[in-house]
Chains A and B, each alone.
Chain A
Amino acid sequence: MFSFLVKRLLQSIVVLIAVALIAFSLFKFVGDPINNMVGQDTTLDEREALRERLGLNDPFPIQFYHFITDAAVGDFGISYRHKIPVSDLIAERAPATLELSIISALLSVFIGIPMGVYTAIHRKGFISRSFMTLSLVGISLPTFLIGILFIFLFGVILRWLPTFGRGEVVAIGWWTTGLLTWSGIKSLILPSITLALFQMTLIMRLVRTEMLEVLCTDYVKFARARGLKENAVNFGHALKNTLIPVITIIGLQLGLVMAFAIITETVFQWPGMGMLFIQSIEEVDVPVMAAYLMMISLIFVGINLLVDILYAYVDPRLTIDGGSKHG
């Protein structure tokens, strides 16, 4: 198990360095950073002096080395636009995005899996058929359209829920949360459902397909032949086997939820990292873009590592030395 973890960690570091290289080349190739920093009346000599002082004349590998060592401690430099450290900017925005994406991830897992199991067990029932039809809508409608429809229905016509912003937030240290105020919770409802809908339907369909397959296996048949009750067969034996392949997909999807909350955040004017990223693209705010890239890849790599560990934990066949055959 230990050597397996070390191996995965080494692989993760390679991935992160590759992403860092791409992020860093943004600085080199997307515009001249000096131009972005100084005013028009700066002389060429002053520019050259600044360039020298900032280390921009160093060879590429040395600059890259500095970038990586700084990035490793969370220092991504200063935003061109906001003139404050990028890390502060991200720390300010991260709670909003994390809150939104974690809530929608929970929604999609805890609604998606039971719905998948239900539709697999009651394959022909009226309710499962309606679920299946509805899930088509969730899978085929683009997120922004669903968001706009929600705003139109619940915000404009029914006037039940707020349609933009986070509402009132409470600060706990550097973290700000909307979960402790009524208006904060109300503001979360529409965006989190919008963001969760696609994942939810995907997970539901995936669980359904896997479960149907597992229900046809010999060990489920044998469990029935031993007279086990339906619930014991479905939830004791079939469900756990169903979840093994589903875990991988869920892991990947959760990464996607965080990385691409951008659209939902834009539609609902949610003050999170996605909004920050969109704005920084518009303004060519390279340090923010680079930092965002690095952070998202870190999240992806982290989730994947977690999934691998979970996998080995759930499936006894995968533990590295447990596979020996004897008897």
Chain B
Amino acid sequence: MTLLATKNISIGFPSRHGMFVAVKDVSFSVEPGEILGIVGESGAGKSTVGNAIISLLQPPGKVISGEVWFNSKRIDNLSVEQKRRLRGKKIGMIFQDPQTSLDPLKTIKQQLVETIDLHLRLGRKGSEKRAIELLEQVGIPDPQLRMHHYPHQFSGGMRQRVVIALALCGEPELIIADEPTTALDVSVQKQILDLMRKLCIEKNVGMILVTHDMGVIAEVTDRVAVMYNSKLMEIGDTKQILGNPQHPYTQSLISAIPRPDKRIERFPLVTYIEDVIEPQDEFDLSSHWLGQSRDFSMQVEEDGTILQVKDLCMRFQISNSIFKSKRRYLDAVKMVNFSIKEGETFGIVGESGSGKSTIARMVTGLYQPYSGAVHFLGKEISAINHTPEVLAYRRQMQMVFQDPFSSLNARMRVMDIVAEPILFHKLAASKEEAQHIVLDLLKLVGMADDAYTKYPHQFSGGQRQRISIARALATRPRFLICDEPTSALDVSVQAQILNLLKDLQQELNLTMMFISHDLPVIRQMCDRVAVMQHGQILELAETEQLFSEPQHNYSKHLLSLMPKLDMITERPITVTAQAVQG
């Protein structure tokens, strides 16, 4: 018997400029014990569908047509109170970010008991007993003790387990999981996905898994629905959709996913996107400002080494005390050594908290190393940090940050953002010249002609990251540090940005330090890779060698956690070419 079915639902958000339709004519069904994936890029309307089923649409959003059936009963026309009774009891929901899904001021126990007692009416004692059982089921060790803790005392993965336990309180028949693992590390993601899979089978619960991550889809779903631009493109068995997609959008989306299994020269673009960026003009370095006036007066070392890091350590104080013995420290980076040759792309991979971003911050001088040295272009720049002398070296080294939303000053126009480093380093004779350079740079990274007069909020995430890259290029650097440059972006945009970085590197002979937690991306981008855990480099190897024969156990472990995309690889790659034509 079908658990849930939507029949041609459309969801709209009325606004002053008429109705904005976020979801158009979407129909699908979920069986008990089945996991249905809904995949799509940001803005595709996939989360809106989930919210509509559980009737938690952000006002003024509403279902404007179509029907939702649950257990052979129509539920979209119920009263507010009847809908509330369904929530938690019949339909549960799990949100993306476990850091913010739990009330920070109440213990886990308070939140669990409140919910259990509401749905199952077990009384205080009974609810407590049930809460312990649930915590055990979702794999929280020592639940009797842990349930008295507050959410901030749990790690991200543990918190998501608590969230799942809370969603299970009312013993729902359907669970809607909205990007449940996006905020988690790979190893934790794997555990959470396994847990959800297990629960579905054991309790015969149906699940709708909303995600943008094809890896997650391939890992756990039985069937998948692909959404694009508010519409359902394609729905079918996961194997069939990933292995043999019918719709051109699905085809090109799948081809844009960075492949973990082998290295390819360029990422195929998602060509189905309607506002695709026009092919760029041929870029001639010899006649271009970027090429003309680069400063090569500072020489790399004889063996071609541009950056060398020696015994680098960073320690943060986590609790202060007037007694030295009582102070506690966190060693974020411990005795790290590596060197990067000019023109090379050096990758650093590791889970969150492994110290990869801290290294980037020490190399750029944002943090002063606790001990050890950073040599750049033959000079120990960590020793001359905060002196005027260091500026010339800083100019040669720029950074692209992870979050394109907070790394651009919201009160400055794009023109001023990109011109700022040029003017600061006095690389242009006049303001007019600087403006010319900015226009050039924006064109180089593929921005529209009128972009320079706008403010950052008028752009999408991918466009903002392009602006970030333009700003980083503005000082004509020889060394670029990219700290998770695409992890906040959709697959299709990620492909564009990574291609752009590759092109720029070839044309400008840039050296790159590329930090990511995403192994497939690392494989496509980097020549050599350092694997980090707990502040130490465990393995440093040529990329291909690391992926084919990892030496260290942790590297093997990380590689084993990569989502298996075997189903995709069965498909010949030529489909991409067809998609471009069609």
Q: Which residues of A contact B (CB under 8 A)?
A: 3, 217-219, 221-230, 232, 236-237, 240-241, 244, 314-317, 322-327
**Is A222 a contact of B95 with CB atoms below 8 Å?**
yes
- Do residues A227 and B85 form an inter-chain contact, with CB atoms below 8 A? yes
What are the interface flags for B131-150 relative to A under an 8 Å C-beta threshold, 1 for contact and 0 otherwise? 00000000010000010001
- Report yes or no: A322 in contact with B92, Cβ–Cβ below 8 A: no
For chain B, residues 89 to 148, give those with C-beta under 8 angstroms from any C-beta of chain A: 89, 92-93, 95-97, 100-106, 114-115, 118-119, 140, 146
B158 A327 Cβ-Cβ under 8 A: yes
- Closest Cβ of chain A: how far from B188's Cβ, in Å? 11
B residues near A232, Cβ cutoff 8 Å = 114, 118
In the complex, the answer to whether A225 meets B97 with C-beta atoms within 8 Å is no
How many residues belonging to B are interface residues under a CB distance threshold of 8 Å?
38
Q: Which of these, B56, B114, B158, contacts A236 with CB under 8 Å?
A: B114
Kindly supply a per-residue 1/0 record for chain B positions 4-29, scoring 1 wherever the CB is within 8 Å of any chain A CB and 0 otherwise: 00000000000000000000000000
25 example contacts (A-B, Cβ-Cβ < 8 A) are as follows A218-B100, A219-B101, A221-B56, A222-B93, A222-B102, A222-B163, A225-B88, A225-B92, A226-B93, A227-B88, A227-B89, A227-B119, A228-B118, A232-B118, A236-B114, A237-B106, A241-B104, A241-B105, A317-B152, A323-B152, A325-B153, A326-B155, A327-B140, A327-B153, A327-B155
The reply to whether A241 and B103 form a contact with Cβ atoms under 8 Å apart is yes
Contacts of B95 in A (CB 8 A): 218, 221-222, 225
B315-369 interface with A by 8 A CB criterion:
321
Say yes or no: is B233 at the interface (Cβ < 8 Å to chain A): no
A316 to chain B, nearest CB (A): 4
Asked whether, in the complex, the Cβ of B103 is within 8 Å of the Cβ of A223, the reply is yes
A218 touches B152 (CB 8 A): no
Quick check: A314 and B114 within 8 Å, CB to CB? no
Whether A322 pairs with B114 at a CB distance below 8 angstroms is no
Binding site for A on B (CB under 8 A): 54, 56, 84-89, 92-93, 95-97, 100-106, 114-115, 118-119, 140, 146, 150, 152-155, 158, 163, 166-167, 169-170, 321
Closest chain B residue to A238, Cβ basis: B103
Q: Is the interface of B mostly helix, strand, loop or mixed?
A: loop
Complex Cα distance A228/B155, Å?
25
A-B contact count (CB 8 A): 94
Q: Is the CB of A316 within 8 A of B150?
A: yes
Which residues from A are CB-within-8-Å of B97?
218
Partner of B93, one of A217, A225, A244: A225
Q: Is the pair A219, B155 in contact by a Cβ cutoff of 8 Å?
A: no
Looking at B97, B153, B321, which has the most chain A CB atoms within 10 Å of its CB? Answer: B153
- Contact, CB under 8 Å: B118 / A322: no
Name A321's closest neighbour in chain B (CB-CB): B319
Once the chains are docked, how many angstroms separate the CA of A227 from the CA of B89? Answer: 7
What is the bound-complex CA distance between A25 and B71, given in angstroms? Answer: 81
Give chain B nearest CB distance to A170 CB in angstroms: 43
**Beta-carbon contact of B150 and A314 below 8 Å:** no
Q: How far is the CA of A316 from the CA of B86 in the complex (A)?
A: 32
The 7 lowest CB-CB distance pairs between A and B, nearest first, are A227-B88, A227-B87, A225-B93, A226-B88, A327-B158, A218-B100, A316-B150
A219-B158 CB under 8 A given contacts A226-B166, A227-B86:
no
Nearest B residue (CB) for A237: B103
Asked if B150 and A317 sit within 8 Å, CB to CB, the answer is yes
Q: Are B153 and A324 in contact (CB under 8 A)?
A: yes
Which of B101, B118, B154 lies in contact with A227, CB distance below 8 A? B118
